[in-house]
Amino acid sequence: MGEAIAIRRVDLSNFRNYASLHLESDPGPIVLTGANGSGKTNLLEAISMFMPGRGMRSAGFDAMLHSHAAVPQWAVSISIDKYDEPLRIGTSWQQTSNGTSQTRQASIDGQPAKGISAFGEHIRLIWLTPAMDRLFAGSAGDRRRFLDRIVAASDLDHRRRLNSFEKLMRQRNLLLGEGQFDISWMDVLEQQMAGQAIAIAATRLAAIDVLQGHIDNTKQAGGTSVFPAARLMLDGEIEATLRHTPAVQSEDEYAKMLCDSRKIDQAAGRTLNGPHRSDLIVFHSEKDMEARACSTGEQKALLIGLVLAQARMVQSAFYGQMPVLLLDEIAAHLDQDRRKGLFDELTRSQAQCWLTGTDRMQFEALNGKAQFLTVTDGKIQQG
């Protein structure tokens, strides 16, 4: 599939159960095995801190601090190969003396960077965790956040638009809650919300179309994947309108909807319509069945198929380079054939993938193809 970003070194300080760690890693698959609670997921979470947000667990930064840290600060740094040139990037967080949280710091080759988003020019990460296994049977909010991670992995401005819309919406909700507001200012606020909302919806729709294209191309290329093909749909008023209405008109219509619904939203205490209410609907294509009605194993297989398609989507948007994959407890709910099929697809992709599990036997198909590491109480050794 072409070039791939590879993490070649990881250094941790006071992160979770790692007081300190220095790890040299191979460019191909890396398998981390060990007992529950040994620190496998903690290492993947540390790597995930190089994407905007709070990482693969969405935890508070203070929760990531080692319990016996002498100084209330954790740090993570990695070295990556990019076009055969080494690059060192790092991020850290420190708690102030009064217990408040400071903004996370970022650096590139030892120089301060303008926020975590600066890493997006150098590395892209995709992860899959056990908490996501029931994504299709969970809440619309979980699926929407999953979709937005897919979009943001290819479009670095998407998260900025989401944050801007949420900030504007909070201001509107606050004004509505106060009961008295300047109508002219509210009109301006709602017009700004509409601009961000349409941009968010348009970006999501474009991402869904591209992702579906990668899924369909894999199927049409011979159907070699052991994972079922998904059919995707975005359920939301704005998205439905935008499919057949010009963006400028859609923006005006949403601004009018916000204006007309002020009393209803005021009574509800929140904004009832917008991109924050949309839902990602996934179907098992061969069975023509919504994913939420599929078995646990089928849901996991659909999810893995989506993540693999997302990796190809990111590759097409990121200089032709595959992202780094963080696959936590990936073998759970997969039979032997699907485990082998997954490992074969990962090997063919040439992506560096970090995989975790409690039983090394689950990864025997990767013998001779992967770097195997054993994790024990915050310490890692080869083998």
- What SS3 state is found at 32? strand
- Is residue 279 within 8 A of residue 95, CB to CB? The reply is no
What's the rounded Cα separation, in Å, for the pair 43 and 32? Answer: 9
Other CB atoms within 10 A of residue 359 CB:
9
Which pLDDT band, with edges at 50, 70 and 90, does 333 fall under? confident
Please return the burial class of 98, using the count of CB atoms within 10 Å of its CB with bins 0-12, 13-18 and 19+. exposed
Least confident of 19-28, 80-89, 269-278, 353-362: 80-89
DSSP state at residue 88:
E
Least confident of 16-25, 92-101, 286-295: 92-101
- Is residue 89 within 8 A of residue 123, CB to CB? The reply is yes
- Residue 1 is predicted with a pLDDT of 39
Q: To 10 degrees, what angle do helices 140-154 and 296-317 make?
A: 30
Give how far the C-alpha of residue 209 lies from the chain's centroid of Cα atoms, to the nearest Å.
18
- Residue 85 is predicted with a pLDDT of 72
**294-313 average pLDDT score:** 94
Domain parsing of the chain, residue ranges: 132-317
- Residue 80 is predicted with a pLDDT of 95
- pLDDT, averaged across the chain: 92
**258-279 average pLDDT score:** 96
Which H, E and C letters describe 282-297, residue by residue? EEECCCCEEHHHCCHH
E-only strand ranges, the chain: 6-15, 18-24, 30-33, 73-82, 85-94, 105-108, 111-112, 125-128, 230-235, 279-284, 289-290, 324-327, 353-357, 371-376, 379-382
Residue carrying structure tokens 């407890």: 329
Which pLDDT band, with edges at 50, 70 and 90, does 225 fall under? confident
Question: Is pLDDT at 88 greater than 60 in this prediction?
Answer: yes
Contacts of 214 (CB under 8 A, 6+ apart): 309, 312, 313, 316
CATH architecture of residue range(s) 132-317 = Up-down Bundle (1.20)
Helix ranges (DSSP H) in 179-246: 183-220, 237-242
Residue carrying structure tokens 């993490």: 7
- Residue 99 is predicted with a pLDDT of 64
Question: Is pLDDT at 223 greater than 60 in this prediction?
Answer: no
Other CB atoms within 10 A of residue 271 CB:
22
Question: Is pLDDT at 56 greater than 90 in this prediction?
Answer: yes
Most confident of 181-195, 213-227, 329-343: 181-195
**pTM attached to this predicted model:** 0.92
